A and B are shown apart, each in its own frame.
Chain A
Amino acid sequence: MAKGQPLTFDLDDEDLKLFNEEAEEQLELLDTALVQLEGEPDPDLVQRIFRAAHTLKGSSATIGHRKMASLTHAMETVLDAVRQDRLRPSSAVVDALLAGLDALRILAHEVVTRVDAGVDAEPLEHALHGLLQEAPPGGATVDAPPAAAGAALPANVVEALLAEVDEGRAVFRVHVGIDANCQLPGIRCFQLLQEIEALATIGHLVPEREVIEAGGGEFSMAAVVATMAHDEQLKAALESVADVASLTIESVTVDATLAIEVPAAPQAAPAVAPAGAKALDAPAPGGRPQLTVVEPGESGATNGSAPRKTTSASVRIDVERLDGLMNLVGELVIDRTRLQQIKDHLSTVLKDANLAELTENFEETTAHLARITDELQEEIMRSRMLPVRSVLTRLPRLVRDVAAKCGKKVELLTAGEETELDRSVIEEISDPLVHILRNAVDHGIETPEERRAAGKPETGTVTVTAWNQETYIYLSIQDDGRGIDTRRLRDKAVERGLVTREMADAASDEAVLQYIFLPGLSLAKKITDVSGRGVGMDIVRTNIERLNGQVSIRSTAGKGSEFIIQLPLTLATTKALMVMSNDTVYAIPLVSVTEALSEVEADLHPIAGRTTLRLRGRLLPVVDLARALGDYRTSEHQGPRFVVAAKHSDRQVAFLVDRLLGEQDVVVKSLGDMLGNRKGITGATILGDGTLGLIIDTASLVAATAALQAIA
């Protein structure tokens, strides 16, 4: 197959969804876990990784994705060796597995695109197999468990068997493979054990009797038995059990070399696969990709005793469906507001008409509806929330890669993984977060030598913390590196023509730190392939602000830096200050509003022909909001107007509006493609009386105004 060729897989749309969801889950798990594999392989971790690879192998084989199945098989083989302590998970091993993982992602995506992405998996597989050359063959190490593949039987077992032989019994080595589609292989193992015991004395059993009796058997079992029965009788008895896919019974000679061979525990033995043709493509235990929490193939080892993995009792809901619900709730919210307005109106009209009771009833009902709507909105919003963990899990790998590339030692600590964020925010925040983290490792953390010289531990620490406060989510990325050199930052900004020397020298260190967000500024001494060319931080800020969020920076020379990202809990609704200008209602996101005051009490000055607001020691340019948005009609407004100060990063602008209407939760609706990208407007919302309100894009308005000022 060559790149660009169409691919066909054996799955329909419903299957595809399951396949994707499962594959994504397993790939994610591998992403986090493989990094931890290096050095200290906790057996549980190794087992989890092995299973993930195994599940991927199974599902890819089931849908006929041979390349993916083959690569996962190679990875699984290496992991099996690690699991059996035959291979030390050195960084070379982890590197090879990570390279495999990268390719797996692309291969898994091919299932969606149905186009060959041109991945050449062979060198990867070759590298993986190469690792095994150094590993001793199975069971050869001293501390291999007694029942490991190919291990010789313990001396006392051999002795007992010899005694049986002396009594005239024949000794057979039995190997049974259970159909990979069997959903409860543990039960089959137990049934097989019952059948064997009815006819024979068991000398040795794999897995151990206790395991099988507890229902912990898997897709294969093996035994060395002594019996008076014929092998034909044994065969008939074992075949009476359903789902027996393969069965070998061989007569053996009892001596010290007698070994028992059993494939790796949770693995569907190749022998189980339907004869020949698809040996490698042995379907996963359980066959089709499964969504269920209980994985039939894996259930044996864990069922009953320890749960496989803490999986919350949850149902997966299509995001589209949730969006639909959210939309409906949005409509409901609008109706609620309208009802309240009608209520207010009715109350005034009806009060005198001796209809007090009716009014009261109506008020009660509206209040109730309002409460229910609020709760419903909250609930549905929550159901769109995902723990930020799904983003954080990708970071250890990233830090490892970047640190390795720059020759640094970095430890990543994360906290607050449980903090929940709206799905749409999660999707958007990943890139900015990754970028800041890269910078922290590449620029922030010093080399081990520099750190030693500065009296710091050689290994730098980057801490990513997420937390929730009021209706915002905060993400902090903190490093204990060298901090940002404000002197150099000043020079750089001047050199790039971004600010004048006078401005730079006059600015406080705190203000200078903000330069880092200016387009076209890079502090890196040279361009690296890690952090790029300084096209980063300004885009990071733009992306965050597009989400109605803010990013701030703190830094102390020699001690390190901290970036704090503030994001709204959801993008579907936002708190806004409602204002009116030229009979049009505008919603200014509250996150950007710093102050709102009457024109009368505002400290307004004409400076160089422009109105300027003096506010808390700062001079803010004043712009007419309607005009800034392109509405040049003459205002017919009578009486005093109002100014609303809004900020965007370090800049503030005061908008002149006709009236303040108060704070409100607004449901954000996209203006759609019809209206195109209207500058300064991010969307619309329907107001209580059914009219349209326009949601202001504070960031672009403030930036545009500031640019205008610069020209003037």
Chain B
Amino acid sequence: MATILVVDDAAFMRMRMSKILTEAGYDVIQAENGLDALDKYRAHKPDAVLLDITMPEMDGLTALKEIKAMDPGAKVAMVTALGQQQIVLEAVKSGAKDFLVKPAEGDRVLATVSKLCA
């Protein structure tokens, strides 16, 4: 089964996402900020990344660009709150494949991940 990197500074969101994905049979790795995400991506080469936008240390948009520089084939979906459309647009221009709007229902998370991994 595919490995998914879940990046979010909020522990609750990470836990929720991880639970949804683990129950669906995915392997999940967690990272708490952009910098952490780069390390984990390098170490695990996950099949897909769910990347929160607003995070300390390194934000999601910067992390996306770094990940894409490291691996142009990286499959990333941005996790966004409403009102961040311009950042999502920028992320899509920078190579993000998809997005999830918080709060996202389980079905939607799984649909997005399976589309990313396809």
Contacts and interface: CB of A to CB of B under 8 A. Distances in A.
To the question of whether A and B form a pair in one complex, the answer is: yes
Interface string A303-340: 11000000000000000000000000000000000000
Interface stretch (B14-22, B57-65, B85-93): B85-93
B102 to A, nearest CB: 10
B92 A190 contact: yes
A566 B89 CA distance: 53
Contact of B99 (A184, A292, A296, A303): A184
Interface residues of B, number: 15
B92 A187 contact: yes
A240 B89 CA distance: 17
Nearest to B115: A242
Contact of A183 (B82, B89, B112): B82
A303 B85 CA distance: 7
A299 B92 contact: no
A183 B99 CA distance: 10
B89 A299 contact: no
A184 B85 contact: yes
A186 B89 contact: yes
Interface string B38-62: 0000000000000000000000000
Contacts of B72: none
Contacts of B99: 184, 187
Interface of A is mostly: loop
A294 B111 contact: no
Interface string B87-118: 01100110000110100000000011001000
B83 interface: yes
Contact of B85 (A186, A191, A194, A240): A186
B85 A215 contact: yes
B89 A294 contact: no
A214 B111 CA distance: 26
A294 B80 CA distance: 14
Contacts, number: 41
Contacts of B112: 242
A637 to B, nearest CB: 68
A89 to B, nearest CB: 32
A292 B89 contact: no
Interface string A184-216: 101100110010000000000000000000110
**Among A183, A194, A299, residue most surrounded by chain B Cβ atoms (within 10 Å):** A183
A183 B83 CA distance: 10
A244 to B, nearest CB: 11
Nearest to A286: B82
Given A215-B86, A296-B82, A304-B85, A183 B92 contact: no
Interface in A209-247: 214-215, 240, 242
Given A184-B99, A191-B92, A242-B111, A294 B86 contact: no
A65 B63 CA distance: 46
Contacts of A184: 80, 85, 88, 99, 101
A296 B83 CA distance: 9
A194 B92 CA distance: 10
B98 A242 contact: yes
B85 A292 contact: no
A190 B93 CA distance: 9
A91 B99 CA distance: 47
B7 to A, nearest CB: 19
**Among A184, A186, A191, A240, residue most surrounded by chain B Cβ atoms (within 10 Å):** A184
Contacts of A240: 115
Interface in B25-47: none
A210 to B, nearest CB: 13
Given A187-B99, A242-B115, A296-B101, 16 more contacts: A183-B82, A183-B101, A184-B99, A186-B85, A187-B88, A187-B89, A214-B89, A215-B85, A215-B86, A215-B88, A215-B89, A240-B115, A296-B82, A299-B82, A299-B85, A304-B86
Interface of A: 183-184, 186-187, 190-191, 194, 214-215, 240, 242, 292, 294, 296, 299, 303-304
Those 6 A-B pairs whose CB atoms lie nearest each other, nearest first? A183-B101, A215-B89, A304-B86, A303-B85, A294-B82, A187-B88
Interface of B: 80, 82-83, 85-86, 88-89, 92-93, 98-99, 101, 111-112, 115
11 contacts: A183-B101, A184-B88, A184-B101, A187-B89, A187-B92, A191-B92, A194-B92, A242-B111, A294-B82, A296-B82, A304-B85
